[in-house]
Chain A
Amino acid sequence: MANFIVTRILQSAAVMFFVALICFCLFRYVGDPIVNMVGQETTIEDMEALRQSLGLDKPVLVQFAHFIAGALQGEFGISYRLQRPVSELIAERLPATLELVFVSAIIALTLGISGGLLTGIKRNAWYSRLVLALSLVGVSLPTFVVGILLIYLFAVTLNWLPSFGRGQVVDIGWWSTGLLTVSGWKAIILPAVTLALYQTTLILRIVRAEMLEVRRTDFIKFAWARGLAPRSVYFNHALRNTLIPVITVTGLQIGSLIAFSIITETVFQWPGMGSLFIHAVQFADVPVMAAYLVLVALFFVLINLIVDLLYFAVDPRLRMSAGH
């Protein structure tokens, strides 16, 4: 098993290396970074000086080594637009996005799994049919429509919740959290629900499909025949056996939550990485874009690594086969 983990970590490192290569090419070859950085009145001498001080006159391989070394320390250069280190910008924006993703993931998992269980166990009840019909809406409506509808309903019409921003935040070290204030919680509800909706319905449908599948297996029949209580049959026996596909999909989906929070963040003016990235695209702020790309890739790789490890925790058969 240790063998497997080491292999996976090496594979992850390789993936990150290639992502870094792409980001580097983006940074180096999409326009001249120096021209992008300086104003129009800058003299050619000044530009050359800047070029040298940034090491951009060195061979490409050396530059790439620099880029990797910087990336490893979280340094991605200076934002063209804001003239501040990218790492600072990211550090400011990261907590907002991660909190949003965290809250939506919790919502999606809780509602998705419980809804999937409900509709899988009582599959012919009227409420199961209702939930399924609603989940179809969740799958088919685009995020931005849902977001705007929610804003219209809860912010404009009912005036219960704010339509934009993070509310009041509290700084804990470099991490600014909105989860410790009432206004922060109020502000996160709408974007988190919007972001979670699609994932919820996806998880719900997978859990339901898997439950229906598992219910027909012999070991569930045998569990009933042993006289176990429904709670035990459904949770200890059935749900546990649905977890592998659920973990797989959930893992990928949490990755996309981070990546696709861009739309939700734009709709709700959420001061996270997504909106940072959108602005960066508008101004061709390549260092920010490159850093964002690396970071999202890093999250995907980490989540996949965790998913792989979770497989072992759930399924003893894998522990054995990977041991050999």
Chain B
Amino acid sequence: MTVLSIERLRIEFPLRRQVLVAVDDISLEINAGEILGIVGESGAGKSLTGASLIGLLEPPGQVSSGQIRLNGRDITNLTQRELRKIRGKQIGAIFQDPLTSLNPLLTIGRQLTETLNAHLKLQQSEAKERAIDMLREVGIPAPEQRMSSYPHELSGGMRQRVVIALALCCNPELIVADEPTTALDVSVQAQIILLLKKLCLKQGTAVMLVTHDLGVIAEAADRVAVMYSGRLVEIGPVGDIVENPIHPYTKGLMGSIPVIGAHKHRLAGIEGAMPRLDDRPHGCAFHPRCSHATELCRSQQPKLTAIESSERKSACHYNDEGKFR
């Protein structure tokens, strides 16, 4: 069942002199219980895509065209009041830094119960009970006592568990997790990802996992969408994309993952940098960095097209010759 479907989403930043297009022509779907990873470099537009779902784009950013549907309902142009009923209730959000996501002056319990009370009609005691259950669910020891703790009394990993509890406490249909493990120790990262995966599977929650960490994607995601300079360049099942990328950019990304035990002299990287928003090249945005670029790449923007006999799509003029190199 499709929980989230995004169609031809375009996010613009109208500035005084020009309109910057940060995200263009993004279409994707996430099913119940599925984790879709969104990867890309900083500035590729992955976080903006996540923020647009809950109407939290920083002004002047705005969705200029396209459609976002949650369980079939168009939520693209809702008022703030209508969005408020969706945020936290139908779409939960997890942000990057658990150390700063929680209000330092309020207890964990207060922040949980206020979220519950904002969306559900609960008695004070019910809300408290549910908050404690939620803390237990995310693996916080002695949840009754933790209710009266302040964020600074917990470790980073524990705080991210609280953030997850906050995101999941109203049983949302979709979770937008924006770099949920980036600020954590590597040893804690795996625990958090596993926890998120387990809970979402249990509740049937769809997850949009935004990250630049390919390791996290490989571990958690069911499908992956790769973004480059505001567009999707490749999307498909995680196994295919990691093991057999088609788009030259995805290839470059996968080639840049260090592998323990591999005897390579130097880790492969992608030459150059992603173009600035106001300085996108003509044609395929990746062509200046692509070693296979041709005249066609320089003049025409490739479309995201389905790859035969797979569930994949890739946006390269030379999809069919994907085996080049």
Contact = CB atoms under 8 A, between A and B. Distances in A.
A225 interface: yes
Interface string A279-293: 000000000000000
B95 A221 contact: yes
B100 A227 contact: no
Interface residues of A, number: 22
Interface in A177-233: 217-219, 221-229, 232
A13 B102 CA distance: 39
A237 interface: yes
Contacts, number: 78
Given A219-B102, A240-B105, A227 B87 contact: yes
Contact of B118 (A229, A241, A317, A320): A229
Contacts of B93: 222, 225-226
B100 A225 contact: no
A230 B150 CA distance: 23
A236 to B, nearest CB: 7
B105 A315 contact: yes
A232 B150 contact: no
A314 interface: yes
Given A218-B101, A222-B163, A316-B150, 10 more contacts: A218-B95, A219-B103, A224-B87, A225-B87, A225-B88, A226-B115, A226-B167, A227-B85, A228-B118, A240-B103
A152 B114 CA distance: 52
B115 A228 contact: yes
Interface string A256-273: 000000000000000000
B234 to A, nearest CB: 28
A47 B11 CA distance: 91
A224 B92 CA distance: 11
A277 B222 CA distance: 79
A221 B97 CA distance: 12
Interface residues of B, number: 30
Contacts of B152: 316-317, 320
Interface string B96-111: 1100111111100000
A306 B246 CA distance: 67
Nearest to B84: A227
A320 B151 CA distance: 12
A316 B87 CA distance: 28
Contacts of B166: 222, 226
B94 to A, nearest CB: 9
A132 to B, nearest CB: 20
A226 B86 CA distance: 9
Interface in B111-145: 114-115, 118-119
B56 interface: yes
Among A219, A222, A226, A315, max chain B CB count under 10 A is at A226
Contacts of A218: 95-97, 100-101
Nearest to B93: A225
A118 B123 CA distance: 33
Nearest to B119: A227
A221 B47 CA distance: 13
Contacts of B118: 226-229, 232
Nearest to A238: B103
Interface in A290-322: 314-317, 320
Among B101, B102, B166, max chain A CB count under 10 A is at B101
Given A315-B105, A316-B150, A217 B100 contact: yes
B169 to A, nearest CB: 9
B95 A222 contact: yes
A222 B102 contact: yes
A290 to B, nearest CB: 43
B6 to A, nearest CB: 18
Contact of A237 (B54, B56, B103, B150): B103
B240 to A, nearest CB: 32
A162 B105 CA distance: 46
The 3 nearest A-B residue pairs measured at CB: A227-B88, A227-B87, A225-B93
Contacts of B56: 221, 224-225
A226 B56 CA distance: 11
8 contacts: A218-B100, A222-B101, A227-B88, A228-B88, A236-B103, A236-B106, A237-B106, A320-B153
B287 interface: no
B105 to A, nearest CB: 5
B54 to A, nearest CB: 6
A232 B97 CA distance: 22
A57 to B, nearest CB: 60
Given A229-B118, A320-B152, A219 B101 contact: yes
Given A228-B115, A229-B118, A316-B150, A219 B104 contact: yes
A276 B38 CA distance: 73
Nearest to B110: A236
A241 B150 contact: no
A236 B115 CA distance: 12
B89 interface: yes
Nearest to A219: B103
A105 to B, nearest CB: 24
A241 B88 contact: no
Contacts of A315: 104-105
Given A227-B89, A227-B118, A229-B118, A314 B95 contact: no
Nearest to B169: A226
A228 B114 contact: yes
Contacts of B54: 225
Contacts of B119: 227
A218 B166 CA distance: 14
Contact of A241 (B85, B89, B97, B104): B104
Given A225-B56, A227-B118, A317 B101 contact: no
B118 to A, nearest CB: 5
